[in-house]
Amino acid sequence: MERAKQIAMRELKHMGFAVDDISECDAKRADFVATDGISTYVVEVKQKLDDLVRRSNEVRRMADGEIVSNSEPHSHSNRFDGIFKHGRDQLYNTPRHPEAFSIIWFYAEGMDADLKARRACNTFYGLVPLIPLSGNSDGNSEIVQCFYFDFKPHLECRPYMAWWSFMMEGYSFV
């Protein structure tokens, strides 16, 4: 996690934030605090990396001439929901000013970094891509992003918790 935390801290410093590490203790807490001169942000960094064993098996199979394919949905993921719940708990356990914002910085890296970031976004915000059964006037159906609402424990955080994503191939703030 240290690598993802260092990347998040570096990016925020680059954007002009003052960043201070939160010292570790027995209780699980957020990673650092960032300020922009107006507001304070308590940041917990979460990451999703490639499974190195799976990745090395895929590379070996491709070297042997096999075709390797992977298929994962872009929809809600219980695994990501667990990551966000853990992050929420760490933010709750961090002493702070009552007006400080809570932020989970989600970091995805590897072959499917974009897919991981999309699944995280779909899980965090309750987004799901849908294809309408009937097309538009020219008969084509377009994928539409729809919100769905179920129990979202991270939405209990007050003030509002933002979600940021950073990937190796570039970064996007959602």
- Give the pLDDT score at 167: 46
Has residue 73 got a pLDDT over 70? no
Looking up tokens 């191939």, which residue turns up? 169
- Give the pLDDT score at 170: 43
pTM of the model: 0.72
Q: How many C-beta atoms lie closer than 10 Å to residue 47's C-beta?
A: 18
pLDDT digits (tens, 9 = 90+) for 46-68: 988 877 888 889 889 999 999 98
Would you place residue 139 in the very low, low, confident or very high pLDDT band (cuts 50, 70, 90)? Answer: low
Would you place residue 144 in the very low, low, confident or very high pLDDT band (cuts 50, 70, 90)? Answer: confident
Looking up tokens 């949905």, which residue turns up? 73
